[in-house]
């Protein structure tokens, strides 16, 4: 039994007994600041906005002019290579410039700008998602560490009791069945602690990734009274929460921007049906008509067969589809808000109905029960019943508080804004 407890303590060294040099103590605002500054996923997503702006810049650039030069390589009459005299050679120089008609350039720029807006939507929605992960994991680690403290205190007390009982058993003063029950319950506590410890280690690893910290460092979350005693959700109204979500949910804005971009692309495809104009200037040094000929010309494709019909039809379908998708997602957002609000109400009521004085009263009671058991004023069954009730009440109270904070974070996530920030 002691070997098992020692291995559990060694397993928990990363979480519960790190040295000062290995420990990073974070308040929630500090964690959020480091997350915004150093999270690698956010840095990569932010580059997507820069990429979109680069595409915008490229779209603003006009088409390059073209140049055509023609030179007679060999004059068979004078037997000269690359002749340059006007009397025995001919040189032709042409300049061409493509002119986009029907507002294609402006329409392409509009599509590119909306693409940048979509990159911004993805970036801010990633902030929303990762912030939710950060805050929910932060709260979960805090309350899991609280539960580990309860287990450590109980295990320490029960170990001392088992040691005393083992001495009495060796002297023949107590029966084996009572000692076996104590050891069995100690084993149960140790097993439950191991499960909580694994959960804490998972939270530690997730926070290290989110905060871009070394996984070898222990993160100790610290919550203020304001963080723990956030206002009740009773004063919130679902209709107002839905409106807030419509304003702050960037994933919903992404659907709306996608529909807008498809509409812009449809306008672009219709403009593509209009042929572009090519203007040309020609200089012929020794033309057949007269020397030093200068001429201008225009060229345009005749829209006889290809009027971009297929692309226009496809763009029309995508426009209609994106509108339907945006409408469906708006309904999903409203459903998310209502569901998160209902869960938050339930968790808030449960947490607030728990009498906080109960734990302190029970703590004093269990001390007396332990003392009376060691004096053999109560039997082992009654002692273990009180001991298990104390442990269950402490763990359940911690879990209620954690559930409340998690439900509030889910509501923030559904709305897309921090509803409880002072």
What pLDDT does 10 receive?
A: 36
Other CB atoms closer than 10 Å to residue 75's CB: what's the count? Answer: 16
Does the residue 31 lie in any domain?
Answer: yes
Least confident of 26-40, 148-162, 296-310, 404-418: 148-162
Confidence check: pLDDT of 9 > 70: no
What pLDDT does 71 receive?
A: 86
pLDDT tens for 330-351 read 999 999 999 999 999 999 988 8
Does the residue 224 lie in any domain?
Answer: yes
What pLDDT does 363 receive?
A: 62
Confidence check: pLDDT of 1 > 60: no
What pLDDT does 276 receive?
A: 94
What residues have CB less than 8 Å from 341, skipping those under 6 apart?
A: 233, 236, 238, 241, 411, 414
Other CB atoms closer than 10 Å to residue 164's CB: what's the count? Answer: 14
Give the rounded percent of residues in the chain with a pLDDT score beyond 70.
Answer: 90
Instruction: Give how many domains the chain has, as a whole number.
Output: 1
**Per the structure block, which two tokens stand in for 285?**
């040094």
341: domain CATH number is 1.20.1600.10
| Residue 252, domain extent | 2-63+100-273+308-415
- Average pLDDT score over the chain: 87
Q: Directed axis angle between helix 104-170 and helix 356-374, to 10°?
A: 20
Phi and psi dihedrals of 214, rounded to 5?
-65, 135
What pLDDT does 12 receive?
A: 43
Does the residue 70 lie in any domain?
Answer: no
Does the residue 199 lie in any domain?
Answer: yes
Confidence check: pLDDT of 6 > 60: no
Give the rounded percent of residues in the chain with a pLDDT score beyond 90.
Answer: 63
What residues have CB less than 8 Å from 185, skipping those under 6 apart?
A: 158, 384, 387, 388
pLDDT tens for 194-213 read 999 999 999 999 999 999 99
Cα-based angle 48, 50, 54 (whole degrees, multiple of 5)? 115
Does the residue 296 lie in any domain?
Answer: no
Confidence check: pLDDT of 39 > 50: yes
Average pLDDT over residues 346-362: 73
Does the residue 301 lie in any domain?
Answer: no
Does the residue 283 lie in any domain?
Answer: no
Does the residue 77 lie in any domain?
Answer: no
**Per the structure block, which two tokens stand in for 355?**
């009498």
Average pLDDT over residues 223-232: 86
């Amino acid at each position: 039994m002691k070997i098992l407890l020692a291995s559990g303590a060694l397993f928990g060294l990363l979480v519960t007994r790190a040295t000062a040099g290995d420990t990073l103590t974070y308040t929630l605002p500090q964690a959020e600041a480091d997350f915004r500054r150093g999270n690698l996923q956010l840095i990569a997503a932010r580059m997507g906005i820069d990429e979109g702006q680069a595409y915008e810049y490229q779209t603003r650039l006009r088409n390059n002019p073209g140049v055509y030069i023609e030179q007679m390589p060999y004059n068979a009459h004078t037997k000269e290579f690359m002749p340059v005299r006007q009397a025995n050679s001919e040189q032709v120089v042409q300049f061409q410039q493509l002119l986009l008609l029907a507002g294609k350039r402006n329409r392409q720029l509009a599509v590119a700008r909306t693409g940048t807006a979509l990159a911004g939507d993805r970036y801010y929605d990633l902030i929303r998602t990762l912030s939710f992960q950060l805050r929910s994991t932060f709260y979960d680690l805090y309350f899991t560490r609280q539960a580990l403290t309860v287990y450590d205190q109980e295990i320490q007390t029960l170990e001392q009791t088992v040691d005393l009982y083992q001495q009495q058993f060796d002297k023949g003063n107590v029966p084996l069945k009572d000692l076996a029950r104590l050891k069995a319950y100690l084993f149960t506590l140790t097993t439950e602690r191991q499960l909580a410890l694994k959960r804490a280690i998972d939270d530690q690893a997730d926070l290290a990734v989110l905060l871009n910290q070394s996984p070898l460092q222990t993160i100790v979350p610290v919550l203020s009274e304001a963080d723990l005693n956030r206002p009740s959700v009773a004063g919130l109204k679902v209709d107002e929460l839905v409106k807030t979500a419509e304003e702050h949910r960037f994933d919903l804005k992404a659907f709306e921007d996608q529909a807008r971009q498809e509409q812009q692309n449809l306008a672009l495809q219709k403009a593509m049906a209009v042929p572009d104009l090519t203007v040309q200037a020609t200089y012929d040094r020794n033309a057949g008509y007269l020397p030093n000929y200068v001429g201008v010309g225009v060229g345009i494709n005749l829209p006889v067969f290809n009027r971009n019909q297929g692309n226009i039809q496809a763009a029309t379908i995508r426009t209609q589809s994106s509108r339907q998708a945006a409408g469906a997602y708006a309904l999903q957002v409203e459903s998310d808000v209502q569901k998160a609000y209902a869960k938050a109400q339930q968790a808030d009521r449960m947490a607030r109905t728990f009498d906080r004085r109960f734990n302190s009263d029970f703590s004093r009671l269990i001390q007396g029960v332990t003392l009376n058991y060691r004096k053999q004023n109560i039997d082992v069954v009654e002692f273990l019943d009180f001991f298990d009730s104390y442990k269950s009440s402490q763990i359940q109270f911690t879990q209620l508080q954690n559930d409340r904070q998690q439900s509030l974070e889910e509501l923030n996530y559904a709305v897309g804004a921090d509803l409880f920030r002072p």
